[in-house]
Chains A and B, each alone.
Chain A
C-alpha cells in the first residue's frame, strides 16, 4: 500500500514540522515528544502512528478526525478536529472511535408532513433534557441544543441556517443522555427544508425548458462549426 516512492514526499510534508522546539503530548495515554505547533494529526504521524480511520479531508470539512483533548492541569476534556488543532505542551488527546448512532431511513421526496414525520423518524428528538452537553461538544461552535429544539418546534429554516457549518463529526451524539443524534436530526430537517419548504426557482425551470426546446441550437451550430482559430477569437472576445 505505502511504497518507497512516497518516502521523499513524507519529508516535504513534514518539512513544516521541523522546528526547534519540542513538546510532550500524551496520545492515547502514552507520552511522545513532538514538534511544537503541529496539528494533532501531524503529531500522530510524527509519533509513528498510521492513521486510516481518522484521516479524511485534512482541511476541517469532513469530520473524520474528531478528537478529545485536555490541556495541562485543566480537568475539562474538550473536542476538536485533529487536522485543525495545534498541540501544546502537556496536552493529552485521543481520537473518537466510530459511534453507533441510529440514522433514520426515509424518502425525502415522498414525506407527507415532514415536521410531524420527525417524531416518527426520530422519536427521541423531543426528549432533550437541556443538559447542553451537545453544544459544548461541538467543535464547530454550533448551538446544537437550540438546534434540536428548533427542529422539534418545526423551525426547520433555523435548523438549516444553524447547521450549515456542521461537518458531521458526530461529537454531539455520544454525550447525549437522551440518545439523540443531533447532527442526523439536523440533516433531516435541513433536507426537508430544502425539499419541501423552499420555493422552486422559476429561472431555473425556464432555463431547463429552453435547453430542451432547442433555444440554443443555432448558437451551438455556429460555435461548433468554427475553426480552432475562429473559436479562439470568439472566446477571447468575451470579457
Chain B
C-alpha cells in the first residue's frame, strides 16, 4: 500500500476509533508485554561489569565498556589548580543551572563548567511539561503513588517523597524568576494529564516548557555573574588521601589543555546516555549525552543503581529521515492522539506508561502490523489530525507550535496528515546512587538530575524529569554550599585513578578505551 493509501486508512478509521474506549492493561498483562518486547529485556545486549563498585552486576555492553575504560590522564599530570572554588558544578543543563544558582544564593563561590554552551542539554528540549501536584483534586501523595506505579514499585521512597513535596516551591521559584507557565482563566496554573498519571499534573509553557525554563535559568546564571567555563569537559575527578572528592580536571575543548580545579565540593549534572546509542537505537538526546558522570563517579568508587534500565520513548520520528530518532512530543497523546497500526487499528491505551506503550509499538512492528517507509524503517501512526477534529481547528497550532514547525520544515503538515513514530532511546532510568540531598557515598561528591539514579525506578513517568532537575539541582546546590563553609580545601591527588588502573589490570581489561566519551564520534573518517 502506498503512503497516500496508508494516510487515508488513518483518516477513514478515525471516527470509528474515537467511539472506542481502549482499556489499560492489567498489571500482569503489562509485565508480560514488557518482558517480551521491551529492549531492557534483551539478554544478549547485557553483560556483567568486570570490576568496581558494581562488579558482577549486569548492564548494557555500551555502558559496561565505558565504566571499565581508562582515565585519559597521564599519571604524572601536574595538579596545580588554576581555580579554587567552594562548589564546582559540572553540566549546564537544568540541574546544573539550578544547582549553581542555589549554591551561589547561599553565598558559595561557584564555578559552572560545561562541555558545550551554557544550556545545551536535554532539558531545553523537554516539551511535555513538568509534573507538580498543584491542582485542588491532586496531592503530593497521589503524585508519589503514580510515580511509584510507573517505576514498577522500584523507586527510592525517600528521593521520591522529597521530589513530590518540593515540587510546589519549585514552581513558585520559577514563577518568581519569570517563567511563564500556562494559566487557567482564574489565574491558577493550567495542568495537563500525562501518560501514567491519575491526575492532570503537568505544568506547561505550550510545548516549549524546557526551552522556556532554560531561557530563564541561563539568563539568571549570567545575571548572577556566576563564573562560567564553556567548552570545558570534566574528564577526571580529584580525591584526597581519604577518598573524598576535592575537585576535577577539565579539558578545554578548544585548545585540548587540562585545567585543574580545586573544589571543596563537586556537583555532577551531566545528564544521560542517549548518544551511546544503546542496542543501536536512534536517540532523542542532545549531542553531549554520553554518560560522563557515570564514568567519573564510578572511578571514584561511587556505586550506581538500576543501571540496567533505560527509557525508550514511544514516539521517536521515523519519517522523514531527517527526524529519525527525534522526539515527537508525548503531549499529542496526552490530548487524545491515537496510535494506529498499519491496519488502521488502535492497539494500546495511549496514556499508559512509556515502557508499556513502547513495548506495544515494538510488538505491532514485530508481528507485521507496522508501516514501512521507503528507507526501510518501521513505525506506527500517531494520529495528529485527530486533535483538530476533536478539539476544533487550530488546536495543533495553539498547543503544539514546536511540533507543527518541526515537521513543516520537511514539508509534512501534521494538521492534515498523521506522522510515523517508533521508540527512541530517551532516558537513563538509573544512575549514580544518591541520598535526599544528592550526595553520593563518596564524600563531597554530589550528583543531580538524569545522571543520578533511584528516583524513577525502572521507568520514569512523563514530566518527572524537569521536576527532578530542579528539586535535586536545588538540594545539591544548597547542601554543597553549606558543606563547603565547614571544609578546608583537601589535597588534590589521582590516587583513585591509580587504584582503578590496578583493578583494571587485575581483571585484564585491555580495551585501550579511555572514558568519559565527552562527545560522540559521528565524523566520518575521510581517507
Contact = CB atoms under 8 A, between A and B. Distances in A.
Contact of B231 (A53, A187, A188, A232): A53
B523 A62 contact: no
A235 B145 CA distance: 6
Interface in B15-63: 27, 62
Nearest to B219: A187
Interface in A55-90: 55-62, 64, 84-86
A208 B168 contact: yes
B453 interface: no
Nearest to A236: B27
A84 B322 contact: yes
A146 to B, nearest CB: 17
A62 B124 contact: yes
A47 B526 contact: yes
Contact of B141 (A12, A55, A195, A216): A216
B392 interface: no
Given A198-B180, A201-B183, A235-B153, A6 B133 contact: no
A6 B524 CA distance: 12
A116 interface: no
Interface in A190-239: 190-195, 198-205, 207-208, 211, 216, 219-220, 223-224, 228, 231-232, 234-236, 238-239
Contacts of B492: none
A21 interface: no
A177 interface: no
Contacts of B180: 160, 164, 190, 193-194, 198
Interface stretch (A23-31, A104-112, A128-136): A104-112
Contacts of A180: none
Contacts of A223: 141, 144-145
B72 A1 contact: yes
A203 B136 contact: yes
A84 B517 contact: no
Interface residues of A, number: 85
Contact of B518 (A1, A19, A192): A1
B360 to A, nearest CB: 19
Contacts, number: 259
Interface in B172-228: 172, 175-180, 183, 187-189, 198, 205-206, 208, 210-212, 215-216, 218-220, 222-223, 225
A103 B282 CA distance: 37
A105 B225 CA distance: 8
B251 interface: yes
A5 B322 contact: no
Interface size classification for chain B: 35 or more
A191 B146 contact: no
Interface in B135-176: 135-136, 139-142, 144-146, 148-149, 153, 157, 161, 165, 168-169, 171-172, 175-176
A165 interface: yes
B187 A202 contact: yes
Contacts of B172: 204-205, 208
A2 B517 contact: yes
Contacts of A178: none
A108 B525 contact: no
A106 B223 contact: yes
A115 to B, nearest CB: 14
Interface stretch (B404-412, B469-477, B499-507): B404-412
A55 B116 contact: yes
A168 interface: yes
Contact of A52 (B144, B225, B231): B231
Given A1-B519, A61-B211, 18 more contacts: A1-B233, A3-B521, A5-B517, A6-B521, A9-B276, A10-B523, A16-B375, A48-B526, A59-B286, A59-B326, A61-B402, A168-B218, A187-B219, A191-B178, A203-B189, A224-B161, A235-B153, A236-B27
12 contacts: A1-B72, A2-B517, A19-B375, A47-B524, A56-B117, A56-B120, A59-B327, A164-B205, A191-B178, A193-B178, A194-B179, A220-B141
Interface of A: 1-7, 9-10, 12-14, 16, 19, 37-39, 42, 45-53, 55-62, 64, 84-86, 103, 105-109, 140-141, 160, 164-168, 187-188, 190-195, 198-205, 207-208, 211, 216, 219-220, 223-224, 228, 231-232, 234-236, 238-239
